[in-house]
Amino acid sequence: MIAELDRILSHGLTAVQARVIVGIYNLGKEGKNAPRMTDIAEWCQVSTAAATGLIDRMEKAGQVKRLHVAHDRRSIFLCLTAKGKETAEKLLNAGREASQPGASVETP
């Protein structure tokens, strides 16, 4: 668990930010629509205001971007930038490596 957290933090992300990035990445790979801001809030079990602040920071870091829909200005969808996709792939690879048989387990 500590090693996993260290890997997440080494990418400059909080655990919640890592969850958002991997979730958006996986939704895109499954061919589903980009998640809305409200979907992310619900998924992370935070208020919409908290999700907005989270996405603001991730957008400033160049990990995600907001997509506005012309016919419904209230709906905001999220997608990963190239940097966000790269980060998602690194996180997923780190997770796969950690789950391999014989992977070292660090203890405090």
Q: How far apart are alpha carbons 82 and 41 in whole angstroms?
A: 23
Q: What is the value of pTM for the model shown?
A: 0.74
Walk me through the domains of the chain, giving residue ranges and CATH numbers: 2-98 (1.10.10.10)
At 81 the pLDDT is 94
pLDDT along the chain (108 residues), means of 10: 59 83 78 78 86 94 90 86 91 73 52
Instruction: Write the burial class of residue 78 (CB in 10 Å: 0-12 exposed, 13-18 middle, 19+ buried).
Output: buried
Residue 65 has a pLDDT of: 94
Sign of CA dihedral 84, 77, 60, 18: negative
